Amino acid sequence: MKIALVDDSVILRSALKNVLESSGFQVVLEAGGSRELFSLLEKSKAELVLLDVFFPTENGLDMLAKIKRISPQTKVLLVTGLRQETILAEAQRLGADGVLYKPFDTDDLLAAIERMK
């Protein structure tokens, strides 16, 4: 499975990339925000976007809506540290395929991705 990682933390993206690639997934895109994501998304052929919800100057839910508009077949797994019903409801309304809550371990991440297949 080809995966795009979208998070403003370079350290977290690097750690996630190592875990995913050592588990047999292909990380085809790493982005720190929407500008990088949308300039590369169509070229990357990502099947799954692992997308943080909160960014310093952007909203991951807005990015989710745009991903689903331009590439409805691309699956999106949102990552958030907040367990708020409003976020979950909005994510589902916008077409998120799953939500993973921080902190999570490797097994949680891989199980969530397996459910996306």
Q: How many CA atoms, within 13 angstroms, populate the side-chain half-sphere of residue 104?
A: 23
Low-confidence stretches of the chain (pLDDT beneath 70): none
The token pair that represents 62 in the structure block: 């807005």
The pLDDT of residue 81 is: 84
pTM: 0.94
The pLDDT of residue 86 is: 84
Q: pLDDT tens-digit profile of 75-102?
A: 999 999 887 788 889 999 999 999 999 8
The pLDDT of residue 117 is: 84
Side chain identity, residue 38: F
Longest dimension (CA), the chain: 34
The pLDDT of residue 82 is: 81
Mark out the alpha helices in 23-72 (DSSP H runs).
34-44, 60-70
